[in-house]
Chain A
Amino acid sequence: MASNFRIGGLASGMDIDSIVKELMAAARKPVDKLYQDKIFLEWKKDDYRSINNQLRILRDEVSRMRLQSSYLSRKVHVGDSSVVTASSSNNAAATSYTLSVTQLATVARNQSAKEIGKREDGTVVKIDPNKTIWDQRDELDPDKQINWMPDEKVTGEVKVSTTSKNQKLAHDTITKLISQDSENKIITVKDAEGEKIEYKVVDTLDKLEGDDDNKVYLDFETGMLTFSNPVAKDSTIIAEYEYNPKKFITSFTMYNESGEQVTKTYTVDAGNLSLNSLFNRMSADQNLGIAIFYDEGTDKVSISTNRTGKYNPNEGGKEILFNGDGFFSGVLKLDEDNETGGTNAKFELNGLSTERKSNEFTINGTTFTLLGAGETTVNVMQDGDAVFDTIKGFIEKYNELIDTINSKVTEQRYRDYPPLTEEQRKEMSESEIKLWEEKARSGTLRGDQFLVSSLDKMRFAWSSPVSGITSALNQMTAYGIETGSYFEGGKLYIKDEAKLKQAIAENPDEVLKFFTNSSDDYGEKGVAQRLFDVLTDSMARLTTQAGSDGSFSKYDQSILAERIRDIEKRIDSREDRLNRLEQRYWRQFIAMESAIQWANSQSAWLAQQFMY
Chain B
Amino acid sequence: MINNLQQEKLSLLEQFHKLTTKQLGLLEQGEYDQLLELFEQKDLVIKKINDLDLKLGKEANCEEVLTKLKELQELNNLLELKLRNTKTELGVKLLEFQQGKQTENRYSRYTQTEGAFIDKKQ
Contact = CB atoms under 8 A, between A and B. Distances in A.
A588 B120 CA distance: 21
Interface string B74-107: 0011011001101110110010011011001001
Tell me what chain B mostly uses at the interface: helix, strand, loop, or mixed: helix
Contact of A595 (B36, B43, B69, B110): B36
B33 interface: yes
A15 B35 contact: no
B80 A33 contact: no
A559 interface: no
Contact of A591 (B36, B42, B100, B104): B36
B84 A596 contact: yes
B4 interface: no
A19 B116 contact: yes
Given A11-B118, A23-B116, A418-B107, A606 B86 contact: no
Contact of A19 (B32, B60, B79, B117): B117
Contact of A26 (B43, B69, B100): B100
A607 interface: yes
B76 A609 contact: no
Highest count of chain B CB atoms <10 Å: which of A33, A36, A427, A602: A602
A266 interface: no
A117 B83 CA distance: 125
A587 interface: yes
A605 interface: yes
A612 B53 contact: yes
Interface string B48-84: 0100010010101100001001001100110110011
Contacts of B5: none
Contacts of B32: 587-588, 591-592, 595
A599 B116 contact: no
Contacts of B73: 603, 606-607
A15 B119 contact: yes
Contacts of A594: 36, 39
Contacts, number: 124
Contact of B119 (A13, A591, A596, A606): A13
B19 to A, nearest CB: 10
Given A22-B98, A26-B97, A33-B107, A600 B80 contact: yes
A592 B117 contact: no
B120 A15 contact: yes
Contacts of A603: 73, 76-77, 80
A9 B91 contact: yes
Contacts of A598: 36, 39, 43
A37 B118 CA distance: 32
B119 A592 contact: no
A600 B94 CA distance: 24
Q: Which of B36, B53, B66 has the most CB of A within 10 A?
A: B36
A10 B87 CA distance: 9
| A417, A418, A594, A605 pick with most chain B CB within 10 angstroms | A605
Contacts of A141: none
A4 interface: no
Given A606-B72, A609-B69, 12 more contacts: A9-B84, A9-B88, A15-B119, A22-B101, A26-B100, A595-B35, A602-B76, A603-B76, A603-B80, A606-B76, A610-B66, A612-B53
Interface of A: 7, 9-11, 13-15, 18-19, 22-23, 25-27, 29-30, 32-33, 36, 416-418, 420-421, 423-424, 427-428, 587-589, 591-592, 594-596, 598-600, 602-603, 605-607, 609-610, 612
Interface of B: 32-33, 35-36, 39, 42-43, 46, 49, 53, 56, 58, 60-61, 66, 69, 72-73, 76-77, 79-80, 83-84, 86-88, 90-91, 94, 97-98, 100-101, 104, 107-111, 113, 116-120
